[in-house]
Amino acid sequence: MAKIILADNGISFDGKSALLSPMGGAEKALVSLSESLVDLGHEVLVFNNCLKNIVYKGVNWIPISKNLPDSADLYIANRGDKLINLVPKAKRRVFWIHNPASYLMKWRYLHKLWRWRPCIVFSSNYHAQTYPSWAPAGEKLIIPYGVDKIFRERKMVSNLPGPKAVFTSNPLRSLDWLLDLWSKFVFSRAPNAELHVFSGSATYGEYGKTKETIMKPILEKANALADKGIVLREPVPSQDLVSELSASRIIVYRGDSNETFCSSLGEAQAFGVPAIVQDLGCVAERVIDNKTGYILDNEKEFADAIVRLLENDSLWKEMHLNCLKYQRNWGWRDAAKKFESIIN
């Protein structure tokens, strides 16, 4: 059994948070990895901005205001560069980043990376390519996020879902573009179809509140398009998302240059929901083109694919089965084993 410490200095959350409210991908990833490392038999302590000490599913959640131990078998600094130098006697040190790495190309970050030489963990090929080959690191690894078990247990459907599409990402990530595409090129051809938009600031905690002003006009635009089949919803926790995906035909998302894994696509694909994306950021890595969905950079072709999957039952069922066959082979236990291997 190894002693593993993770640290995060972002928004306030703990292991129970996902049961109560929607969570961002990086927060969900930290929770899922921690719990999976416990399942592998390790002692796991997470220091973050949680409100109080709790033990949940074997993980010790501790406010980061308390002193971290000096040593551990593995120390994972999650996102924050100010965390890299903590746990000074850690046998192995990881800097787990979730945003494109180009922001690290400043001296205030680089000198820490040169000093500590942590193993830097990326979540996709696209993500790794945002970090130059000359930049410092003890090691560079790509460890994709796992997909939670609840999204990998669905059986093949017998009753096909109706013409419902979903968008489950940040409204600042091309939702405006998608609303225009749907209202101009999809609704007239599929007037009974609906696009359910699960989006808003609630996913991002205190950080989300700082973006509410920018998000507001996009969400208001979505609300104003109710007569075009747009249904604006609040973001939902994972358990509720399972129910929503069960009734959904497709997930549609243009992608974004800041997208480094996209859990929402990974979860939907594992659950058997075909996806339509463009080759922006990492999202093309989540879809097997022409098997589990489409990667289409042309707007007309994108809209055509939406209509096709909403209306063509045999095509949808073929892609649904392909999703179940090919897109559920990597869970958080697999990701945790990759992190575990860093110790040895």
pLDDT for 57: 97
d(CA 194, CA 13): 33
pLDDT for 205: 55
- What is the amino acid identity at position 225? L
β-strand partners of 122: 142
- What is the amino acid identity at position 45? L
Beta carbons of 43 and 34 less than 8 angstroms apart: no
β-strand partners of 276: 252, 294
Residues found in the chain: 344
Using alpha carbons, select from 3, 33, 41, 39 the residue that is nearest to residue 15: 33
d(CA 5, CA 91): 11
d(CA 283, CA 80): 24
84: DSSP letter: T
Beta carbons of 250 and 310 less than 8 angstroms apart: yes
Beta carbons of 336 and 37 less than 8 angstroms apart: yes
**At CA 326, angle to CA 194 and CA 329, rounded to 5?**
110
pLDDT for 204: 58
266: DSSP letter: H
Count the neighbouring beta carbons within 10 Å of the beta carbon of residue 139. 12
pLDDT for 23: 86
Task: Dump pLDDT digits (tens) for 274-329.
Answer: 999 999 999 999 999 999 999 999 999 999 999 999 999 999 999 999 999 999 99
Using alpha carbons, select from 229, 123, 239, 114 the residue that is nearest to residue 179: 229
Give the 3-state secondary structure of residue 186.
helix
Phi, psi of 73 (to 5 degrees): -70, -35
Q: Per-residue pLDDT for the chain (344 aa), expressed as one digit of tens each? A: 999 999 999 999 999 998 888 888 899 999 999 999 999 999 999 999 999 999 999 999 999 999 999 999 999 999 999 999 999 999 999 999 999 999 999 999 999 999 999 999 999 999 999 999 999 999 999 999 999 999 999 999 889 999 999 999 999 999 999 999 999 999 999 999 999 999 987 655 555 556 788 999 999 999 999 999 999 999 988 889 999 999 999 999 999 999 999 999 999 999 999 999 999 999 999 999 999 999 999 999 999 999 999 999 999 999 999 999 999 999 999 999 999 999 98
Beta carbons of 308 and 315 less than 8 angstroms apart: yes
Q: How many CA atoms lie within 13 A of 131 on its CB side?
A: 28
Beta carbons of 163 and 190 less than 8 angstroms apart: yes
**At CA 172, angle to CA 205 and CA 229, rounded to 5?**
105
pLDDT for 203: 59
pLDDT for 344: 82
d(CA 179, CA 103): 30
Per-position DSSP letters for 191-236, written without gaps between them: TT-EEEEE-SGGGGHHHHHHTHHHHHHHHHHHHHTGGGTEEEE---
pLDDT for 21: 82
Using alpha carbons, select from 165, 175, 177 the residue that is nearest to residue 311: 165
- Do the bridges between strand 59-63 and strand 54-56 make them parallel or antiparallel, or are there none, so unpaired? antiparallel
Sign of the torsion formed by the C-alpha atoms of 156, 285, 264 and 95: positive
d(CA 167, CA 224): 17
Structure tokens at 192: 């009974």
User: What domains does the chain contain, in order, with CATH numbers?
Assistant: 3-147+330-343 (3.40.50.2000), 151-326 (3.40.50.2000)
